[in-house]
Chains A and B, each alone.
Chain A
Amino acid sequence: MTSPLLEFRKVSKIYGKGEAEVRALDNVDLQIRQGEFVAVMGPSGSGKSTTMNILGCLDTPTKGKYLFSGLDVSDLTRNQRALLRRHYIGFVFQGFNLLKRTTALENTALPLVYRGTPSAERRERAMQALTLVGLADRWDHTSSELSGGQQQRVAIARALVSDPAVVFADEPTGNLDTSRSHEIMTLLTKLNADRGITICLVTHEEEIAAYAKRQVRFRDGRIASDTNGTSRGGK
């Protein structure tokens, strides 16, 4: 078997000191392989977002090691982690988090700006990504002119545009109604199946989690269960 893409080794995340100490993560071991589609679940405050932030190289563990493709992220500086995110990681956030007064195309192309991609190529690739999420005809709409579901699709296009190895989505359907949520999940499932992009998403809805091939459940900063099972997602 190949070595895992993402690996937690006894990772703990502790906020505060002494009396006020909070163990958001407590000695967690976790492995995610290339091409997996993982749903992270659990009650509020169980450590899902903390896990996603560390996996996404936005944060570092207090104790233990996090290996990204074998590379120890805890040793990296803030800017080195930014470079790692720039080249290998895509994000979809709960709030749609598009830039205001900026067109769908420009929002989608943003990660390429920081990669130094020439502007003609940026446009072309952003257009392809928008086509993939079915919004090619809305490329010149600003975020305020798009519905919630459309905004989240633009966010997905933005996460994809740089061909990342892995996409992290913290409650991507949290602000959407049921049918929009299913549209988004269908899209993510397709990306995972067709392009082999590793996807890791947080949700507290069983229906949404069911799209993933694997469900990891957290409780009080620990993994309570880790199951492989799909009811509607890939095979």
Chain B
Amino acid sequence: MLLTTLHLAWRELRANLMRSILTTLGIIVGVAAVVMVVTLGQGVTQQITSDIASLGRNILFVFPAVQQRSGPPVQVQPFRAADVRAIERQISGLNGVSPEASRANTALYGNKKWDTQVSGATNSFFPVREWPIAQGRQFTAGEISGGRAVCILGRTPLRELFGRQRALGAEIRVANFSCTVIGVLSAKGQSTFGQDQDDLILMPLETVQRRIIGNINIPNIVISVRTAELVPKAQKDITKLLRERRNIREGENDNFTIRDVASIASLVASTTAILTAGLSGVAAISLLVGGIGIMNIMLVSVTERTREIGIRLAIGALERDVLWQFLIEAVLLSCLGGVIGAVLGLVGSWLLTIPLGVPFVLSPWVVVVSFGFSAAIGIIFGFFPARRAARLDPIEALRYE
């Protein structure tokens, strides 16, 4: 009986194929939008999560500047090496403190040329950033204290300057001095925002300060806290220490900023969530419109098939039988839209993941939920027309022209 009804409903839809597809357009768009939004949202979330994992959840960034409401951050009073030492000595629960100073510069090797970021750092860089060396070695104590001309290459300058050639021991030119390659960093890949993290050349901090930037300021300190639970306490202690060192009086605002990755991540995640919610709202409206479209076309169908309903009722169909027939037809119609929408949504989001640079995360529940949703819409919006069909008076229905 159910099989017969399904078969019948399918034939009815096929007979009005164009009309059926147009009717389900709302559902198709709605489901496609939901699937796309959720799939891409999950891709972005996964990307952020893995970025955070690669960065370490227990990382603090300290800048000697404050972010204004608008405009660029105001540089107040730079950090110096003594600030770094003070943090290392006086704050407990830290894995390491990595002072960093960077400048964009051009590196030359033979006839190859590459614009990149030159970062000055200490050996704390590697554990704090959880970014090991793949080939070669770290800086020696002498290289760091003496500000020697040595460098460790990121993957991108390595590829661009050396190609397949051996880099270790080679001399490259950066700024106006030549510099020995002593190591190669492991690959890190793209960041959430599509930045190539491997595009850098690492040198001892003093080398960059003296030979490239021309001062001994430290614009950026990266700190690794032992566990994520210790992050809030470390943040409080560092704030207290830096306020003291910078002579900030009680009641005055900080003239530096401490950011933790978790808060950045949660900011990004909540932004993504808000975006997803907003777009899902749009999708829900489109599903609603789709539902009304289905109700409309089912009412038309009931009117068109009044005689058929009359025959069925006269022959001995119960109200229930007719109700089921039209309900199944509505559900089949909306599920058809759901399937088409889900396929379009998956293909669409798959195509979008490539330029967006996020992974394609296929989650089965999105498909199941959107399918269930469209079935539910079929039931909800198909019920009223189906009940109208079931309640027709067979005599009137048979007389209908």
Interface residues of A (CB under 8 A from B): 53, 56, 58-59, 78-79, 82-83, 85-87, 89, 91, 93, 95, 97-101, 110-111, 113-116, 119, 158
Contacts and interface: CB of A to CB of B under 8 A. Distances in A.
B1 A116 contact: yes
Given A101-B15, A116-B1, A85 B395 contact: no
Contacts of A97: 307, 310-311, 398
Contacts of B321: 114
B1 A111 contact: no
Nearest to A52: B395
Interface stretch (B32-40, B194-202, B312-320): B312-320
Majority-rule SS of B interface residues: helix
Nearest to B308: A99
B4 interface: yes
B388 to A, nearest CB: 15
Q: Which of A82, A100, A158 has the most chain B CB atoms inside 10 A of its CB?
A: A82
Contacts of B311: 93, 97-99, 110
Contact of B4 (A58, A100, A119): A119
A114 B395 contact: no
A83 B312 contact: no
Given A93-B398, A114-B315, 17 more contacts: A53-B395, A59-B395, A79-B320, A82-B318, A83-B318, A85-B314, A86-B317, A91-B315, A93-B311, A95-B307, A95-B398, A97-B310, A98-B311, A99-B308, A99-B311, A113-B1, A114-B321
A56 to B, nearest CB: 8
15 contacts: A78-B319, A79-B319, A82-B316, A85-B314, A86-B316, A86-B317, A87-B316, A89-B316, A93-B314, A93-B398, A95-B398, A97-B311, A100-B308, A114-B315, A119-B4
Contacts of A56: 314
Nearest to A80: B318
B293 interface: no
Contacts of B314: 56, 58, 85, 91, 93
A48 to B, nearest CB: 13
Q: Which of B1, B11, B15, B316 has the most chain A CB atoms inside 10 A of its CB?
A: B316
Nearest to B5: A113
B285 to A, nearest CB: 35
A11 to B, nearest CB: 16
A87 B316 CA distance: 8
Interface of B: 1, 4, 11, 15, 307-308, 310-321, 394-395, 398
A73 B315 CA distance: 17
A110 B395 contact: no
A113 B4 contact: yes
A142 B374 CA distance: 33
4 closest Cβ contacts across the A-B interface?
A86-B316, A85-B316, A111-B315, A114-B316
Contacts of A158: 315
A85 B4 contact: no
A83 B316 contact: yes
B315 A86 contact: yes
Contacts of B398: 93, 95, 97
A58 B1 CA distance: 24
A85 B310 CA distance: 13
Nearest to B14: A101
Contact of B11 (A53, A93, A101): A101
A97 B307 CA distance: 7
B392 to A, nearest CB: 11
A177 to B, nearest CB: 22
Contacts of B315: 85-86, 91, 110-111, 114, 158
A8 B321 CA distance: 30
Nearest to B316: A86
A127 to B, nearest CB: 17
Contacts of A53: 395
